[in-house]
Amino acid sequence: MPGRLAKAPGNPSSVLLVNPRNEDHASLMSLFRGSRWKLQGALTAGDGLKAMRRNHYEIPVVICEHCLPDGDWKLLLAELDKAAVRPSLIVSSRLADERLWAEVLNLGAFDLLLSAPFVPEEVLRVTESAWSAWNSAARNSAVA
């Protein structure tokens, strides 16, 4: 079905969405419905941090809005370094520019995703790429 994300390879994989807008949560929930991706949600950076800790940092992909009511994506990026295998952080923004994109990549996030509204094909491509990067790092970590 168009607009749906493909099944994640292997076992179901979680994606954490940290975003203050309920309409963005609903949009991604609809995109992930029927797939093997399990969407978890948080409205604030604090709630996102709690979700990561509650899941023992084992969520492979995090999509975080660049500005949150109680901080920004950089708070989550710093927290993700506590994971044995750091989750891939995708930063979302309605008003992305080249400067934000460069900052996102230079500070170590996986990618920048435009969100006004989310484009299903782009969400698919970026989420799958982020999961693949995390999965590769997890396999390399297990071998080491």
pLDDT of the residue at 73 = 96
C-alpha of 15 from chain center: 6
Give residue 95's pLDDT. Answer: 84
| Structural domain of 48 | 13-143
| Rg for the chain, CA atoms, rounded | 14
Give the closest residue to 68 by CA, choosing from 92, 51, 50, 103: 92
Per the prediction, the chain carries an average pLDDT of 88
**According to the model, what pLDDT value does residue 131 have?**
95
Domain CATH for 79:
3.40.50.2300
2 in a structural domain: no
67-68 and 71-72 strand pairing: antiparallel
Query: Per the domain annotation, does 1 fall within a domain?
Result: no
Residues 11-34 as b or e (16 or more Cβ within 10 Å = b) = eebbbbbbbbeeebbebbeebbee
Q: Is residue 55 part of a domain?
A: yes
Give me the pLDDT at residue 8, please: 46
Taking the C-alpha atoms of residue 35 and residue 48, their distance in angstroms, rounded to an integer, is: 22
**Predicted TM-score of the model (pTM):** 0.90
For the chain, what is the domain count? Answer: 1
Whether 8 is covered by a domain: the verdict is: no
Residue 7: inside a domain: no
The token duo for 48 is 């996102």
Is 3 a domain residue?
A: no
Q: What pLDDT sits at residue 144? A: 64
